[in-house]
């Protein structure tokens, strides 16, 4: 199943994508829904962030090659930080370059989308609590990150968590290619089989720390090849079986 959230005219709905058609849902994939008879061609609708997370729970340094490029040891337990809900934007919405920062970077990441309230879930049970997977960009003000933080600032600016275009349960989260392209040039290319901590482990581990709510996302980390973006650039995150998440960089006035 491939879910989207979209706008058509003044109506915002969830939809189910089949080929190039969006079927309008009554209700939500995070609760209960019915497929209605109303449908649109995919290019007719404006795609929004496919979910509205209360938080993005993010994992740092979860690909061996990225830990090496950052010059830090491979972690023995997950490095966890949180992006506030105001970071969330959808496909084609602008990432706003904050005047406080002199360097903002892209980080292509596989995002797990939580489907059901999750508290102390076992690794074996984890798949039942996952609605699916989407593409994410863990946009980072690198000059605010430093070696030891505060990551909440570096990662927490408004618009710093693009998500989309769809949520799908049709991929193997442990074996899909992940790519980023800046202005059409490949900058990151890896496979989620290189993740240190797997998706199912992360849902279990995090749900023993904090309640995960329907629509929350877990950003599973980025592979090597991170780099800066500038105003006017176009950044794409592509994950095999999910699609392409495209955003432009625009200036933020304040
Ligand atoms: Mg990251």
Instruction: Give the span between the Cα atoms of 149 and 155, in whole angstroms.
Output: 10
How far does residue 50's CA lie from ligand 1's centre (Å)?
19
| C-alpha of residue 121 to centroid of ligand 1, in Å | 24
All structural domains of the chain with their residue ranges: 2-47, 55-251
- Which listed CATH number (3.90.850.10, 3.40.50.2300, 3.40.50.620, 3.40.920.10) goes with 55-251? 3.90.850.10
Instruction: Calculate ∠ Cα 106-153-236, nearest 5°.
Output: 15
Q: What are phi and psi of 137, to 5 degrees?
A: -125, 115
Question: How many angstroms is it from 24 CA to the middle of ligand 1?
Answer: 33
The CATH label, of 1.10.10, 2.60.120, 2.30.30, 3.30.70, for the domain at 2-47 is: 2.30.30
Report the chain (254 residues): mean pLDDT per 10 consecutive residues: 97 96 97 96 97 97 84 90 97 96 97 98 98 98 79 94 98 97 98 95 98 98 96 98 98 86
Residues within 5 Å of ion ligand 1 by Cβ?
107, 138, 222
User: Rounded to the nearest whole angstrom, what is the distance from the C-alpha of residue 222 to the centroid of ligand 1?
Assistant: 5
Q: Kindly give the distance from the C-alpha atom of residue 175 to the centroid of ligand 1, in angstroms, as a whole number.
A: 19
HSE-CB of 230 using CA atoms within 13 angstroms = 1
Confirm whether 2-47 and 55-251 share one CATH topology: no
> And the tokens for 225?
């090849």
Tokens of residue 52, six digits: 């509205």
pTM above 0.85, yes or no: yes
């Amino acid at each position: 199943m491939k879910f989207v959230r979209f706008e058509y005219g003044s109506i915002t709905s969830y939809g189910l994508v089949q080929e190039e058609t969006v079927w309008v849902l009554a209700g939500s994939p995070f609760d209960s829904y019915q497929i209605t008879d109303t449908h649109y061609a995919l290019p007719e609708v404006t795609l929004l962030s496919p979910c509205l997370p209360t938080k993005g729970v993010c994992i740092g340094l979860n690909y061996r090659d990225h830990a090496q490029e950052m010059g830090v040891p491979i972690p023995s337990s997950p490095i966890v930080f949180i992006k506030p809900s105001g970071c969330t934007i959808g496909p084609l919405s602008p990432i706003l370059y904050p005047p406080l920062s002199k360097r903002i970077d892209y980080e292509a990441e596989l995002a797990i989308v939580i489907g059901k309230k999750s508290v102390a879930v076992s690794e074996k049970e984890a798949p039942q609590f996952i609605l699916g997977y989407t593409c994410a960009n863990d946009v980072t003000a690198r000059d605010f990150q430093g070696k030891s933080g505060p990551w909440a600032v570096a990662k927490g600016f408004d618009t710093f968590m693009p998500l989309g275009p769809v949520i799908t349960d049709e991929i193997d989260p442990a074996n899909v290619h992940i790519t980023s392209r800046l202005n059409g040039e490949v900058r990151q290319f890896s496979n989620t089989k290189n993740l240190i901590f797997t998706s199912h482990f992360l849902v279990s581990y995090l749900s023993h720390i904090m309640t995960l709510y329907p629509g929350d996302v877990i950003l599973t980390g980025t592979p090597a090849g991170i780099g800066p973006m500038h105003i006017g650039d176009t950044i794409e995150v592509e994950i095999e079986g999910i699609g392409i998440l495209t955003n432009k960089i625009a200036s933020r006035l304040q």
